[in-house]
Structure 1
Amino acid sequence: MAMLVKPVLIACLAASALAGGTALGARDWQDGGQEAASQRRQTGGLLPLRVIEARVKPMMPGAQYLGFDFDPQTNIYTLKFLRNGSVIWVDVDGRTGRILRKTGN
């Protein structure tokens, strides 16, 4: 029985990594980021997400928008796109809307 547990655990961890998950879960981090972003928007410290999306989406022709993450430590939104099977991340300064970097194709 113990010999079966290890391969199953390894397979689950590999599947999670391929799906972009983490031990805590990417969704858990995003939910916390959304709350922090909402609080900062209300105090005028951040641009609304819709404004940022409206600036970035037109720059990504042919790409499907997958969603975003927000890092409350740096005030950076990371917008995620999918084009031709490749994931593209666009980091945007949440205060200014300026694109900081783009990774992927």
Structure 2
Amino acid sequence: MNLVLTALSGLLLSAAAPEPTAQRGDQAAASAARREGRILPLAEIQRRVIPAMQGAKYLGVDFDSGTAVYTLKFLRDGSLIWVMVDGRSGNVIGRSR
């Protein structure tokens, strides 16, 4: 049983792990866009969204440099919730669940 759980854990972790080069590329793009004033800083996005997600645990964020969309991830009652935020305006533009 422990061997099965260990194998499943390894599969889940490897499937969920981001591609290192893609992550670095989006981080660099987000930093450049923020410095140039094209998007809001992540801290500002978090200040706007996290308090509105009462009862949910904040898990982290992804940034899509092509669309300038931050996707904040939350966990509430065993369900994942994604909140998509326009990085230029700070407006919530979508939400799962």
Question: The TM-score by the shorter chain falls in which range?
Answer: 0.7 to 0.9
Corresponding letter in the other structure for 1:64: K
CA gap of 1:34–1:44, structure 2 versus 1, over 3 A, is same
| Misfit runs of 4+, over 6 Å | none
Task: Structure 1 unaligned segments of length 5 or more: list them.
Answer: 1-10
CA separation of 1:50 and 1:84: change in aligned 2, threshold 3 A: same
Inter-CA distance 83–94: structure 2 relative to 1 (3 Å threshold): same
| Partner residue, 2:81 | 88
Where does residue 49 of structure 2 map in the other structure?
A: 56
C-alpha displacement of 1:33: 1.6
Larger Rg over CA atoms: 1
Within 2, Cα distance between the matches of 1:88 and 1:20?
Answer: 19
Q: CA separation in 2, counterparts of 1:63 and 1:82?
A: 5
The size of the alignment, in residue pairs, is: 89
- RMSD between superposed Cα atoms in Å: 2.1
Deviation sequence 1:43-75 (CA, Å, 0-9, x none): 010100000000000110011111100000000
How far apart in 1 are the matches of 2:64 and 2:15? 17
Matches of residues 18-37 of structure 1 in structure 2 within 5 Å? 21=16, 25-26=17-18, 28=20, 29-37=22-30
Normalised TM-score (structure 1): 0.75
Q: TM-score, normalised by structure 2?
A: 0.80
CA shift digits 1:5-32 (9 cap, x unpaired): xxxxxx77x934x8752xxx42523332
